[in-house]
Structure 1
Amino acid sequence: MSSDGVLILSHCGFSFAEDLIAAIKARGLLPFVLSSRPVPEHGEQRLQTLRDHAAAVFATDSHVLRMEDVEDAVASLRAAGQTVLACISVWEGYRPLMAEANSRLGVSDLSAQRIEFLRDKHAVRNALHHAGLSRVTARRVTPAVLDELRRDAQAWFIKPVRGIASYGAFRLSPDTTWATLEAIGEHARADTVYASALGEHVEFIAEGYLAGTEFSFELLVSHGKPFVLGVHEKCELTEANGTVLEDSCTSPPASLAAGDLASGLDWLRAVFEQLELGSGCFHVEARFDGARWDLIEINPRVGGSLISHSVKALNEEAGMLELWLDLLLEQSGGTQHRAFAERLQRLAYTADGTPPSELATFFRVYFATPGEIERIETRTDGRRPLIAQILLKPGDVVPATPREAFLGQLLWRMTRAERDAALPDLLAASVTALDVHYRTTTPALET
């Protein structure tokens, strides 16, 4: 039996751990898991679930992994005669750890320094503006700057310098005060799961508000060449609870002409060349106003929610998680490299904006509101979803906090022609496909 495996860095016992374990096993390798300590409501039970599926599970006493934890896990595996071929993590806060581990293992990956740069939204925005690839700039927010921006006629968007899960990201309004930002920072520091990813001191930036429809690009970059494996149009965006929620997506985009998508791909390639992003997996959020593309943010990881599942439903071969794993395991040269490059080319959009298949997906993400869940009812009359995931259960209490609280998600697949005809009905009918009842309701966080 092979002693080779892949080390998963799991945050508090989750971070797509089951999906990664299954993908690693499917490649004839051993899944090793290093997890930070789960939050109390999951605790030892969550670690036992991982032990039931992984070849080895290491857990720390802290809710946050450090580089020494990764070093200790790799050393323990080596002492047991096992080989770590690569390290992978979808938790953005651990992406620099993953990169550093891969560097020490001799695995091609984006550098930890470049990942830290990408997570600095102030630096990325202004670098792209200086290069002519973004039409807005970013400013660090202080009490004086905030007062100035509130008097400005221009529309501004506020977000943390290092953000995650749309935490504390919202459009500036006349009611936004410095106390608003301080309250979000206090919530972040008290949030066991998200605190480390946002930083010990939560700083905010303000950048020019970008109008238009929002899209996400799912990319793998191999040996300096980007491959766009999915493009999702965000059909609905809702601002609530001091954040922006992405309610539903469809892929390929329903509202873009091929020429507009091609111009987006050209712009994206220029962005990646400018920022020297030569390797890795990326989830890029952007907006198109009918004439110009501009960046929302670049995430050096797989997109969340059902993004990876959607890509697999479209190409009927592999999702972003699986393809990213294959990229990390790829040899730097020879026939294996050529075969993998040819595979990516086959699964990717062409330069003129042509999707890789005639299929389309639509998925809706359901967000919980503050309160205790009494019951959840699923209504799947009519067109049944291909994937249904319910993430919460009766008795769970959803806190009032300025970030996404996922309840569940449903994904439908059909041909592009069917999607184009059915999209208005899907948008309307999917809203009530998950019906949630609460025992109590907590007032939303004021912004």
Structure 2
Amino acid sequence: MENTGAVLLLSHVGFSFMEDLAGAVTARGLRTCVLSSLPEPRHQDSRPGALADLADDVRVTPEHVLTPHDVEDYLDHLEAAGTTVLCCLTVWEGYRHLMALANARLGVPDLDEKQILQLRDKLTLRNRLADAGLSRGRASALTPETLAERRGDGRRHFVKPVSGIASFGTFPLTGDTTWADLERIAAEARSDTVYAAAFTTDPVPPPQAGAPADPGRGPDTAASDGAVPAASGHHGGAPAVEFLVEDYVPGREFSFEAVVVDGEPHIVAVHEKCEVTEAEGTVLENACVSPPTSLSAEETAAGIRWVTSVLDVLDIDWGCLHVEARHNPSGWDLIEVNPRVGGSLISPSVAALTGGPSLLDLWLDCLLTARRPAGFRARLESLSFAADGTTPSPNATFFRVFFADPGTIREVGLSDDLPLRPVVSQVLLQPGDVVESSSREVFLGQVLWRMDRADRDAILPGLLPASEQAIEIVYETEPR
């Protein structure tokens, strides 16, 4: 490979928004280099070739999970080939610390590996922000003893993995929750080829068994103090899965899409999760609108100040973050801080909102200009929310995510009877796919609409219910 600028992309099992990322790199006249872990068996014949069509150089490792050695070795290979790697990027949260490691070697300003692992430790993060007065809740490691205590104290609590992804194993604690439930969810996590290594901040390659449904075609969503491994720890070489129990955070749910440049955060978008379903074993985020419909500019401004304080306490100087929060009359409180772009259609929603760059575009440009960020910072500021809670954009967006039920799919496709034409539509499963019961979301598809912000309040009441039928699906048998 000739000596020219390139971007290193880290792919998990052959996916992780590779088409979108490679397109963004190519559009900037740069070369694309992809390091991917081994795809699931069903994709091992097809996916490496698809990556080769996207990229200038591809390496697929023999294991399902990338390691620091894999990254270092591939960088050595590219350097020996005369390639100047300008930065590294991944949307898979389980590889975010590897991205940080690569950028440190390349001299690109980014969060460091230790910071990433601290952000992914939701137990310590919650209590750190509570100590700083930025969260009213606290968290504890979930053990049989703390489960019994919280279940009987008459208050609302929430259970989630200490380090997890895609809402797998996140649910409200009820009087019926048992330790056997946690054992079952932990066993599912350990046996899931795609997600297993995301449930620890010290990954061990997971077992070879794959999940029947394929989140690789769907949206990517990315050490704890005293936490006890659920379901009695390691099994068959797979990582332990640790859970926490925390005070329930009430209120409506939002996400802040933040790009931080040299210690200065910019809120590019605020999404309101206008439908959230707390199902057994997971939380499904069904639909989002941006800008929010239920917040005043003053409440949005208070949210921006709160997010800025959170990022300041956590010493976040660089990067793209998806900060999930809830708002109620008492103010703002944290769900979690994700050191990556939001999953689903968050990135294209930002493009539709700004009328220009997607969130992936902005993150890539942040990395490419990090050594001399002045011009990028000015551009970012022109796109972002102002301190008073207003946005310069004349646009509004709405998107809906669809989740599959257990069963065999007979027919699936996009409806042609919608009141507004989508700007993005994706159907991620196909006839013949078998969806098993699981404690994680199984994506079926997603659809994004854009409208003039001035017309949104007139359009949205009709679009919201109509959008529920945007993807039509028929199962061979009734979903179990």
Distance 2:63 2:280 in 1: 29
| Conserved? CA contact 1:373–1:438, under 8 Å | yes
Of residues 302, 309, 315, the one that matches 1:276 is 315
- Report the more deviating stretch, 124-133 or 68-77: 68-77
Q: In structure 2, list runs of 5 or more residues that go unmatched.
A: 201-238
Q: 2:275 aligns to what? A: 236
Shift of 1:442: 6.0
Q: TM-score, normalised by structure 2?
A: 0.90
Deviations 1:122-181 (A, max 9, x none): 111000101100001001110011011111111000000001000100000111000000
Of residues 324, 327, 332, the one that matches 2:363 is 324
Q: 2:82 aligns to what? A: 81
Shift of 1:4: 1.4
Amino acid at match of 1:390: V
Of residues 333, 344, 347, the one that matches 1:305 is 344
Of residues 411, 428, 448, the one that matches 1:411 is 448
Amino acid at match of 1:373: I
| Secondary structure of the corresponding residue to residue 122 of structure 1 | helix
Distance 2:136 2:370 in 1: 39
Shift of 1:257: 0.5
Deviations 1:377-409 (A, max 9, x none): 321322111111111111111121111111100
Amino acid at match of 1:242: G
Q: 2:214 aligns to what? A: none
Structure 2 matches for 1:340-351, cutoff 5 A? 340-351=376-387
Distance 1:12 1:371 in 2: 24
| Secondary structure of the corresponding residue to residue 300 of structure 2 | helix
Question: Is 1:252 the counterpart of 2:291 in the alignment?
Answer: yes
Q: TM-score, normalised by structure 1?
A: 0.97
Shift of 1:361: 0.2
Distance 1:397 1:331 in 2: 44
Q: 2:218 aligns to what? A: none
How well do the aligned residues superpose, as a CA RMSD in angstroms?
1.1
| Secondary structure of the corresponding residue to residue 44 of structure 1 | coil
Q: 1:28 aligns to what? A: 29
- Report the more deviating stretch, 74-83 or 306-315: 74-83
| Secondary structure of the corresponding residue to residue 469 of structure 2 | coil
Distance 2:177 2:162 in 1: 18
Aligned positions, number: 440
Distance 2:382 2:413 in 1: 40
Of residues 388, 406, 411, the one that matches 2:425 is 388
Shift of 1:427: 1.2
| Conserved? CA contact 2:3–2:84, under 8 Å | no
Sort the Cα spacing of 1:144 and 1:75 in 2 relative to 1 into closer, same or farther, 3 A.
Answer: same
Structure 2 matches for 1:130-209, cutoff 5 A? 130-199=131-200, 200-209=239-248
Q: 2:14 aligns to what? A: 13
Amino acid at match of 2:346: I
Distance 2:427 2:3 in 1: 35
Distance 1:92 1:377 in 2: 30
Distance 1:413 1:74 in 2: 40
Structure 2 matches for 1:104-143, cutoff 5 A? 104-143=105-144
| Secondary structure of the corresponding residue to residue 203 of structure 1 | strand
Q: In structure 1, list runs of 5 or more residues that go unmatched.
A: none
- Report the more deviating stretch, 290-299 or 89-98: 290-299
| Conserved? CA contact 2:199–2:241, under 8 Å | yes
Distance 1:402 1:342 in 2: 43
Distance 1:25 1:433 in 2: 32
| Conserved? CA contact 1:2–1:29, under 8 Å | no
> Structure 1 vs Structure 2: percent identity of aligned residues?
54
